[in-house]
């Protein structure tokens, strides 16, 4: 049986301090491996920096010793179990945006929507969420207990709280009722299961405190450092989906947070290309997108030499590339031939849309066979190329950061709130986003206009499932795409609404008998 390596304080500190990487301006270098407890290791500001970088790395890498090194979970491939790769599986492969043609275990089941409670990919992502939350808890706990004082200590604690909130946001969104612990929990104790509505309340209070009372800067030194802007963005996203999470809408609260973000003028839409090769939109998905802090609010750092994995943007770029592609235009060595889009999603774009970044000449539009890479148009949105047209520094691993939060999303959330009746002047941002794309700036006339525009702007950024559920299009028959909900019906089919949530993995319910399975997946733990 696969088992999650529950992280004790000693393991977390050793993992965070033995990492060899960098996150923003947190440079991580190996230190004495015998310094593996808080009283020995957290002796100065530099060691706190190292530990905090290890917390951030939970989003960025599979382990601490190379692309596939020590994936923190037994029985799973370190590359396939990486956090952002798992987020992509759940957020994109289950939707009209993306299919994967590999025969890797149950990967196709995401698109067919027939996953089961023992799916190893679901287990991997679920485990990653709680590893990140656990690492953040441990940093917060040890930092609070440490007698070492320096000017940025509380800010580091608050950054770890933002990272933890992101992990718990993915938990509430994908799994609903989940095991929960914060820094006050007894290390090693079996956690209780928290109700989805109660986790919503905890996240709301935590994020409001981070926005109103924390030492976080309004904007991170780089997009890969958590900031007050990241906490505001996540709070807005929580309120935007309140009806899904709790049964009660909170668009008014979402609008209030969005007004604060927009009114602060801390972030802006990136409208001027940094070079002459790519347009302003694609700047955001290039190897030097860390320079796009005007729009990118929070990003998961990738570096071809220091911070890399077989997940995150390495996965997105390599898996979107296949035979016949000119890899010199992508900045990599060769492709893995996996990810493509459906014809229904491609049809959302006009030919003049600057975001229409697909490979069409090497593919057929229809997906007659999910296992055939040339069926379905390919993606060319993320590249390992710098804005001046030169490739990333390492062709085998990309430098392109994964933009988890963008100001364009803030503007589109505002447009949605405006359409739903909240006065937030949302259509000004809507027009700006569409103007950058070079398409009509007419106001939306239906909710479908809004979800379609979100798809065009944010594809491959892991928001599509979240959006389709909120708009009632994920499991229903109101919107079908090829092979949706079926491994036999190319035209697609509706599925039971319980699949709006993923199951609590059998492995964790065997380890923690307090956990109750999500509705529709059966109540009893696997024997």
Burial class (CB in 10 A: 0-12, 13-18, 19+), 393: middle
Other beta carbons within 10 angstroms of residue 420's beta carbon come to 17
Q: Per the domain annotation, does 404 fall within a domain?
A: no
Q: Which alpha helices (H) appear in 175-292, and where do they start and end?
A: 196-213, 228-240, 242-246, 251-264, 280-283
Q: Per the domain annotation, does 120 fall within a domain?
A: yes
State residue 37's pLDDT score.
59
Q: Indicate the length of the chain as a whole number.
A: 527
**What's the CA gap between 176 and 297, in Å, rounded?**
26
Q: Per the domain annotation, does 411 fall within a domain?
A: no
Domain with residue 146: its CATH number is 1.25.40.390
**What's the CA gap between 421 and 443, in Å, rounded?**
14
- What Rg do the C-alpha atoms of the chain give, in angstroms? 22
- Residue 397 CA to chain centroid, in angstroms? 19
Sorting pLDDT into bands at 50, 70 and 90, what band is 26? low
Pairing of strands 402-406, 358-359: unpaired
8 A C-beta contact, residue 391 and residue 384:
yes
pLDDT at 170 over 80: yes
**What's the CA gap between 353 and 335, in Å, rounded?**
26
8 A C-beta contact, residue 57 and residue 21:
yes
In the chain, % of residues over pLDDT 90: 83
Phi, psi of 416 (to 5 degrees): -65, -45
Number of domains making up the chain:
1
State residue 78's pLDDT score.
56
**What's the CA gap between 136 and 167, in Å, rounded?**
10
**What's the CA gap between 504 and 516, in Å, rounded?**
8
Q: Per the domain annotation, does 84 fall within a domain?
A: yes
Q: Per the domain annotation, does 329 fall within a domain?
A: no
Report the chain's terminal Cα–Cα distance, integer Å.
Answer: 11
Cα 74 to Cα 36, 319, 509, 526, distances in angstroms? 22, 24, 17, 19
Q: Per the domain annotation, does 301 fall within a domain?
A: no
Q: Per the domain annotation, does 184 fall within a domain?
A: yes
Phi, psi of 151 (to 5 degrees): -60, -35
Residue range 125-145, pLDDT digits in tens:
999 999 999 999 999 999 999
pLDDT at 71 over 90: no
Residue range 368-411, pLDDT digits in tens:
999 999 999 999 999 999 999 999 999 999 999 999 999 999 99
Q: DSSP 3-state assignment of 3?
A: coil
Q: DSSP 3-state assignment of 100?
A: strand
Sorting pLDDT into bands at 50, 70 and 90, what band is 205? very high
Domain that holds residue 492: 1-194+486-527
One DSSP character per residue, 239-251 reads HHTHHHHHSS--H
Q: Per the domain annotation, does 66 fall within a domain?
A: yes
Cα 507 to Cα 58, 84, 119, 247, distances in angstroms? 21, 21, 10, 29
Question: Of 238, 218, 235, which is closest to residue 227 (Cα–Cα)?
Answer: 218
Cα 223 to Cα 348, 354, 391, distances in angstroms? 30, 24, 21
8 A C-beta contact, residue 378 and residue 335:
no
CA-based torsion, 88, 93, 94, 98: positive or negative: positive
8 A C-beta contact, residue 60 and residue 311:
no
Kindly give the interhelix angle for 153-174 and 120-145, rounded to the nearest 10 degrees.
160
State residue 36's pLDDT score.
54
Region 181-201 average pLDDT: 95
Region 425-453 average pLDDT: 97
State residue 6's pLDDT score.
35
8 A C-beta contact, residue 334 and residue 321:
yes
8 A C-beta contact, residue 373 and residue 364:
no
State residue 196's pLDDT score.
98
State residue 70's pLDDT score.
52
pLDDT at 19 over 70: no
Instruction: Give 28 or 448, the one with higher predicted confidence.
Output: 448
Question: Of 69, 32, 62, which is closest to residue 47 (Cα–Cα)?
Answer: 32
pLDDT at 295 over 70: yes
pLDDT at 525 over 90: no
Put residue 408 in one of left, alpha, beta given phi > 0 → left and psi -120 to 50 → alpha: alpha
């Amino acid at each position: 049986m696969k088992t999650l390596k529950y992280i004790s304080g000693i393991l977390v500190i050793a993992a965070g301090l033995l990492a060899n990487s960098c996150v923003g301006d947190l440079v991580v270098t190996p230190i004495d491996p015998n310094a593996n407890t808080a009283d020995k290791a957290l002796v100065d500001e530099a060691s706190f920096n190292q530990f905090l970088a290890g917390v951030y790395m939970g989003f960025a890498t599979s382990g601490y010793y190379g692309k596939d090194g020590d994936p923190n979970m037994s029985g799973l491939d370190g590359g396939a179990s990486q956090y952002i790769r798992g987020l992509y599986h759940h957020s994109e492969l289950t939707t009209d945006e993306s299919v994967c043609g590999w025969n890797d275990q149950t990967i196709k089941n995401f698109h067919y929507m027939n996953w089961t409670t023992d799916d190893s990919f679901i287990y991997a992502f679920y485990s990653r969420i709680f590893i990140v939350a656990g690492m953040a808890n441990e940093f917060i706990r040890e930092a609070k207990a440490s007698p070492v004082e320096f000017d940025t200590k509380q800010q580091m604690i608050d950054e770890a709280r933002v990272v933890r909130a992101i992990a718990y946001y993915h938990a509430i969104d994908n799994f609903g009722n989940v095991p929960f612990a914060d820094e006050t929990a007894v290390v090693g104790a079996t956690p209780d299961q928290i109700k989805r509505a109660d986790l919503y309340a905890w996240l709301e209070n935590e994020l409001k405190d981070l926005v109103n009372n924390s030492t976080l800067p309004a904007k991170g030194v780089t997009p890969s450092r958590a900031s007050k802007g990241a906490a505001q963005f996540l709070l807005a996203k929580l309120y935007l989906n309140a009806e899904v999470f709790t049964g009660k809408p909170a668009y008014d609260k979402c609008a209030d947070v969005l007004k604060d973000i927009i009114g602060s003028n801390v972030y802006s839409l990136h409208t001027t290309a940094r070079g002459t090769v790519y347009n302003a939109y694609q700047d955001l998905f290039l190897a030097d997108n860390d320079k796009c802090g005007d729009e990118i609010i929070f990003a998961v750092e990738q570096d071809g030499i220091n911070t890399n994995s077989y997940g995150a943007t390495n996965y997105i770029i390599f898996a979107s590339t296949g035979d016949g592609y000119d890899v010199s235009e992508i900045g990599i060595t060769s492709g893995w031939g996996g990810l493509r889009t459906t014809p229904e999603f491609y049809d959302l774009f006009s030919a003049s849309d600057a975001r229409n970044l697909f490979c069409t000449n090497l593919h057929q539009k229809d997906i007659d066979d999910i296992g055939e890479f040339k069926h379905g148009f390919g993606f060319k949105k993320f590249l390992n190329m710098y804005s001046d047209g030169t490739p990333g520094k390492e062709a085998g691993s990309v430098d392109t950061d994964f933009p988890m939060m963008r100001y364009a999303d803030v503007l589109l959330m505002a447009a949605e709130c405006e359409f739903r009746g909240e006065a937030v002047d949302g259509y000004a941002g809507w027009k700006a986003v569409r103007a950058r794309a070079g398409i009509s700036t007419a106001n939306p006339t239906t909710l479908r206009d809004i979800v379609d525009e979100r798809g065009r702007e944010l594809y491959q950024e892991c928001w599509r499932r979240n959006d389709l559920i909120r708009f009632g299009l994920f499991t229903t028959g109101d919107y079908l795409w090829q092979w949706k909900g079926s491994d036999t019906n190319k035209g697609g089919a509706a599925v039971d609404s319980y699949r709006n949530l993923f199951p609590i993995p059998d492995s964790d319910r065997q380890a923690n008998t307090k956990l109750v399975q999500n509705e529709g997946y059966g109540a009893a733990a696997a024997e």
